Amino acid sequence: MRPTGFPLLVVSSLLWAVSAGAGTRPHYGGTLDVQMQAAPVSLDPSDSNQLDCRNLFGLLFDTLISLDEQGGPEPALATSWQSEPGNQRWRLFLRRGVTFQDGAPVTPDAAAASLRKANPTWKVFSEGEAIIIERDSPAPNLPAELTLPRNSIVKREGGKISGTGPFAVSLWDPGKRLSLTARDDYWNGRAFLNAIEVEMGKNLREQMISFDLGKAQVIEVAPEQAHRANAEGRRVDSSAPVELLALVFGHDPQLPDDGRQRQALALSIDRESMNTVVLQGGGEPAGGLLPNWMTGYGFLFPAALNLAQARQVRSEIPHTTSWTLGYDPADPTAHVIAERIALNARDAGLGIQITSGTGADLRLVRIPLISIDPQIALGELAAGLGLSQPKFASSSVDDLYSAENKLLQSQRVIPLLHLRMAYGVSNTVKHWRTGRDGNWRLANVWLAAEKP
């Protein structure tokens, strides 16, 4: 008898290997279903208060320059750039052959018009094949500034906007739904995904239910829920700590005792317990505005509870003021944190009443870092917190520390925590990656068939 079993086993093994390999190779096609809390009514990145939409902007628009994972500038729509002595006048050379979603070419004139819209105080114009940017004062960090979402290159015409990004808008129902289709002519290569469907205005509970029912493949997860979601078998991908949770006062201290009272409050807050118990390790205690991973000197700003010193400072104040603390009533975690702050303050002999109304003496706020360039991040944080803009004499770490310390010395803000951004991601979504800054990295994302 001829021995046929072994050859058949070899053939079947080879067929299985080919089949398995085909199932794990990236391929084009499919629709990614995403849900988010934000409900924007505009897709224009130059509009204010759009920090929670930057991942959407990254699908629709490009900037002239982008940042690599280390925070260094690299070419995007601009292939190169140079500054004249003094760093007040910059020249950028545009990539050729790029088109907007509507098919119109991206010209230096079009790019200049887009930047003027987003930055009315800049002088921006075209000069041959180049874009010229002139500033009122030296701007040595302009390349990093140009990577901000508001500086995306956008064509605005007849009330419509068009971008150069990897996806084009096929349906837009403001605040409710956004349908995107992959562009075959994208200058940096077609995305593997065919389309992305985004449902907006969904709270975190609704998103988790949709995720568990298989109706959404990417959702937002609260920092305090990330560990639990992972333990329950859900796939969760998190960023570095990139969102500042802080207390912000509405005005500068009016008297020395007012400043000492703010100092006592900062010393009384148990940030470690807040992070461990309330946020389930979803962040890191913060004494500074920027996270330590970005600067390397975060440990120089004390964040530890020091109740004895808080009480000592409080004892030196003849008369204290009872403050009201405002928080976002739509955020249940914010309410819990506000209550803990009030209890910590009481332990130090300070009075705080929490309120969900407006007009509070201080507010509990959350502000995401919009750049991984520390100087740009600090400037954007200062603007969001209502503080004066930091001044930088150089790009050195010492200069950055000095600028951040000056903002903290104003006693307008008390940093509490730096939070991570977390996303629930279906196992059918392959090569998903969340950047350190919380931005989606979708260039190599593809969809696999769900196992029966």
Flag whether pLDDT at 49 surpasses 90.
no
60-74 tens-digit pLDDT? 999 999 998 888 999
Per-residue pLDDT at 50: 63
- Local structure of 99: helix, strand or coil: strand
pLDDT band at 16 (very low <50, low <70, confident <90, very high): very low
Q: What is the CATH number of domain 239-421?
A: 3.10.105.10
Cα gap 261→242, rounded to integer Å? 29
- 231: which residues sit within 8 A by CB, 6+ positions away? none
Instruction: Report, as an integer, the average pLDDT of 292-296.
Output: 95
Flag whether pLDDT at 35 surpasses 60.
yes
HSE at residue 70, side-chain half, CA atoms within 13 A, is: 3
pLDDT band at 13 (very low <50, low <70, confident <90, very high): very low
Residue closest to 411 by CA, chosen among 387, 436, 395: 387
pLDDT band at 140 (very low <50, low <70, confident <90, very high): very high
Give strand pairing partners of 448: none
Flag whether pLDDT at 52 surpasses 90.
no
Please report, for the chain, the start and end positions of each structural domain, with discontinuous segments joined by +. 239-421
Cα gap 240→242, rounded to integer Å? 6
Instruction: Report, as an integer, the average pLDDT of 353-369.
Output: 93
Q: How high is the mean pLDDT of the chain?
A: 91
pLDDT band at 51 (very low <50, low <70, confident <90, very high): low
Q: Give Cα separations from 203 to 324, 331, 356, 424 (angstroms).
A: 27, 10, 19, 14
